[in-house]
């Protein structure tokens, strides 16, 4: 049985790699879908892992495990690659939504994935601001936080 593709922003991928409050919910959602992510998401997630390690919230073994889980996840998702269209759409989104640059790229990648027809498409996030923008753009949003 083919699972339906759902767009996962970086904030939703972190709980799949690092044990945190949203991890169980994220794992349950992952069972329901085939993840689609933005090309830059692996870097964003790795950045979160490194930041948690530097701050002492992750020990060495936990960091290694988190990076390993990220690598395994990366073999199972579809990536929306960087393209001029994604960049230009992200720039337009910055005018219409209260987003940071990387969040605009996430939403732009999600809209590119669904050919700008987000109705009945799922967007998963732990970022409240990005979730609000995704709802406004027309996605069905599952917020993990």
Euclidean distance between the first and the last CA atom of the chain, given in angstroms as a whole number: 29
CA distance 98 to 88: 16
- The pTM for the full model equals 0.95
Give me the number of domains the chain comprises: 1
The parent domain of residue 124 ranges over 4-143
Q: What does the pLDDT average to over 15-42?
A: 97
**Mean pLDDT, the chain, whole residue set:** 97
Q: What does the pLDDT average to over 31-59?
A: 97
CA distance 59 to 63: 6
Q: What is the pLDDT of residues 114-129, one digit of tens each?
A: 999 999 999 999 999 9
Burial class (CB in 10 A: 0-12, 13-18, 19+), 75: exposed
pLDDT at residue 61 above 80?
A: yes
CA distance 107 to 38: 9
pLDDT at residue 86 above 80?
A: yes
Confidence of residue 14 (pLDDT cuts 50, 70, 90): very high
Confidence of residue 145 (pLDDT cuts 50, 70, 90): confident
Looking up residue 15, the CATH number of its domain turns out to be 3.40.50.1010
């Amino acid at each position: 049985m083919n699972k339906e593709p759902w767009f996962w922003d970086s904030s939703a991928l972190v709980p799949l790699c690092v044990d945190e409050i949203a991890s169980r919910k994220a794992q349950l959602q992952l069972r329901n879908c085939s993840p689609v992510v933005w090309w830059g998401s692996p870097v964003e997630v790795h950045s979160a892992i490194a930041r948690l390690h530097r701050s002492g919230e992750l020990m060495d073994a936990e960091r290694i495990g988190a990076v390993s889980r990220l690598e395994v996840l990366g073999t199972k998702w579809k990536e929306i690659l960087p393209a001029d269209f994604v960049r230009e759409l992200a720039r337009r989104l910055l005018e219409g939504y209260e987003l940071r640059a990387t969040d605009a790229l996430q939403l732009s990648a999600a809209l590119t994935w669904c050919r700008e027809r987000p109705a009945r498409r799922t967007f998963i996030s732990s970022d409240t601001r990005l979730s609000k923008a995704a709802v406004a753009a027309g996605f069905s949003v599952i917020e993990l936080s």
